[in-house]
Amino acid sequence: MSDTKPPLPARTFDPWPRIPIDTSPDSDFYRLDRIAGSAATGWALGPDGAYAQNRPLADIVDNAVREALLHLLELGLIDIDSERMHAASGWPTRRQAPATEQ
């Protein structure tokens, strides 16, 4: 992955340029995905987890993502680019895969 991020879109609904990510089984992304997935699954399926409490799927997904992000942040494996986040006029809420994945 490149250390240089593409520029933010000029307007709110302009497409965001995507950073190519290596998702192969020997990539850092794959390892990070497994760590985050384990944290989220443990939260959702644990004895006192959301699944056992019969919580709505949307609640389970939102909180599983939160748990995974918190876990990665607490381990220092990811950082929040606050400057970039606050400089954007809006954020896409749906993932648009790079052209090579579509």
Q: 61: how many CB neighbours lie within 10 A of its CB?
A: 13
Q: Are 8 and 1 in contact (CB under 8 A)?
A: no
Question: Encoding tokens for residue 96?
Answer: 């648009």
Q: Are 43 and 66 in contact (CB under 8 A)?
A: no
Q: What residue spans define the domains of the chain?
A: 30-89
Percentage of the chain modeled with pLDDT above 90: 61
Q: What is the mean pLDDT of the chain?
A: 89
List pLDDT tens digits, range 54-99: 999 999 999 999 999 999 999 999 999 999 999 998 888 887 765 5
List pLDDT tens digits, range 23-39: 999 999 999 999 999 99
Contacts of 96 (CB under 8 A, 6+ apart): 15, 16, 18
